[in-house]
Amino acid sequence: MAITPVSNTPITPQNTATETSIALKTGVAVTSALGVAASVALIAKRQGFSLNPTKIANTKVKDWAIFKITNPDKPNEKIMKFGWKEIMGMGLGSVTGGLIGGAIFDKKENFTSKCSEAISQLLGDITIPLSFVALPTMLYKKFEDLATIETPHAKLQSLSKAVQNNKFLKIACPTIISGSSLVTGIIAGNKVSNHINSQLHGEDRSRGIRLTDFAPHLDDVCLAITLMADKSPVGDIISKFVPIALSVAGYETGTTQKPEKSKS
């Protein structure tokens, strides 16, 4: 029986790569979160919440702006709302934070790839899908309002009333419109961002749709619910998770690496 000789070749430790990877991931996660936090702070300030550290310290945590949800006992209580402008601001803050983190904690040679990913995140995962959801949803909301307002469009008003008086259609119509708009927006956003990146770099920069791309789309769901149902408790609760979901965009941007060239 042949005995296989034991190789004396030293094994190269992999700790350095692992440590670098952990440092990069941790650093980018922090800077992405800070980018979102800065955007949320500006939004809170614009919506009338105080950023005074003393006032914040003396306010119960459950009453902080980011945790405010609709109170059925106090329907007029001030709550924090995320519309399309606020969502865009948080997305931009997240991606900017991710880029900064990537520049600090990663090699310079990977920065170009991070910029490409930033375009994919801002256009493919945030701006275009958000636009695809917002416009049809707002148009449907106007159609829905026809049932209760005076309008010269008698046929549309009749159709609106028919939909509102049918329990199934009242739920199914906005759900189908928002869902199909979101899927279309995701596909369109991916194609547009791929085209722009390929044109900018003079080479094919096609990037498939990833599972993590769906995290930022929680903002689209939140926006659709908010527009479809004013002061919806579900929409208000979901909106509290939007900043966390949008931080994924910055994380993906900052941790993107330069693609390895395939060996011929």
Tell me, what's the pLDDT at 64? 73
Confidence of residue 56 (pLDDT cuts 50, 70, 90): confident
Cα separation, 241 vs 36, in Å, equals: 12
252 exposed, middle or buried (CB, 10 Å; 0-12, 13-18, 19+)? buried
Confidence of residue 9 (pLDDT cuts 50, 70, 90): very low
Per-residue pLDDT for 224 more than 70? no
Query: 43: helix, coil or strand?
Result: helix
256 exposed, middle or buried (CB, 10 Å; 0-12, 13-18, 19+)? buried
Confidence of residue 107 (pLDDT cuts 50, 70, 90): very high
Residue with the two structure tokens 């980011």? 66
In one-letter notation, the amino acid at residue 116 is S
238 exposed, middle or buried (CB, 10 Å; 0-12, 13-18, 19+)? buried
Tell me, what's the pLDDT at 124? 83
Confidence of residue 191 (pLDDT cuts 50, 70, 90): confident
Confidence of residue 89 (pLDDT cuts 50, 70, 90): very high
Instruction: Say which residues have a Cβ less than 8 Å from residue 250's Cβ, sequence separation at least 6.
Output: 28, 31, 32, 33, 35, 36, 93, 94, 95, 96, 97, 98, 99, 101, 121
Q: Residue 175's CB: how many other CB atoms inside 10 A?
A: 12
Tell me, what's the pLDDT at 99? 96
| HSE-CB of 207 using CA atoms within 13 angstroms | 32
**Separation in Å, CA 198 to CA 27, 193, 226:** 29, 9, 36
Tell me, what's the pLDDT at 261? 60
H-only helix segments in the chain = 15-46, 53-57, 84-105, 111-119, 128-145, 154-164, 167-201, 218-228, 233-239, 242-255
